[in-house]
């Protein structure tokens, strides 16, 4: 059950035990445990108490984030980030900036590799004209003559 999984996830993110949540929400611990395991279909009044105790919102409890589109996941992630301390937000921003740089470098390396590969493919697949050694020597002398003539 998505609701139970989300409640447990948020509870753990908040650093709460089931006992802590039971105390804050006024719901018995065995009921919290049963909801988190998906063994109970809680009443709306119970869910509201849990949401308030977790200082969360209904979307966090009801949404199946595993099946959400990436943009929606990012939107929810950004809301979670706003709850972090400024220090933690700066750390995450630095990580994202470094990830962007590494990603750009990797793309450049891939493009360089692709260019090198296509360049080599283009020139390595040219068939050499069938010539014998005497013709090559003659061509070399002709080129040397033309170069020295100028």
Same domain, 74 and 11: yes
- The half-sphere exposure of 80 on its side-chain side, counting CA atoms within 13 A, is 14
66, 83, 100 - which closes a domain:
83
Do 63 and 34 fall into the same domain?
Answer: yes
Residues 96 and 74 in one domain: no
| Contacts of range 43-49, beta carbons closer than 8 Å, 24 or more positions apart | 47/3, 49/25
Residues 110-148 pLDDT 10s: 877 776 666 556 655 555 455 555 665 666 666 666 667
* 78 and 90 both lie in a single domain: no
Which pair of tokens denotes residue 84?
A: 């972090």
Parent domain of 11: 2-83
Please state, in angstroms and rounded to a whole number, the distance separating the CA atoms of residues 127 and 144: 24
Q: What pLDDT digit, counting tens, does each position of 29-72 carry?
A: 999 999 999 998 899 999 999 999 999 888 888 877 666 677 77
**Phi–psi pair at 130, nearest 5 degrees:** -80, 110
Q: How far apart are CA 47 and CA 34, in angstroms?
A: 13
């Amino acid at each position: 059950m998505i609701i139970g999984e989300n409640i447990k996830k948020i509870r753990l993110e908040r650093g709460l035990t089931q006992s802590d949540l039971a105390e804050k929400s006024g719901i018995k611990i065995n009921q919290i445990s049963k909801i988190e395991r998906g063994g109970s279909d809680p009443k709306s009044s119970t869910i509201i108490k849990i949401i308030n105790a977790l200082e969360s919102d209904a979307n966090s409890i009801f949404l199946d984030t595993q099946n959400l589109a990436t943009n929606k996941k990012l939107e929810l992630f950004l809301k979670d980030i706003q709850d972090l301390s400024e220090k933690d937000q700066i750390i995450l921003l630095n990580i994202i900036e470094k990830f962007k740089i590494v990603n750009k470098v990797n793309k450049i390396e891939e493009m360089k590799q692709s260019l090198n590969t296509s360049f080599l493919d283009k020139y390595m697949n040219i068939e050499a004209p069938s010539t014998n050694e005497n013709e090559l020597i003659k061509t070399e002398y002709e080129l040397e003559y033309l170069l020295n003539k100028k």
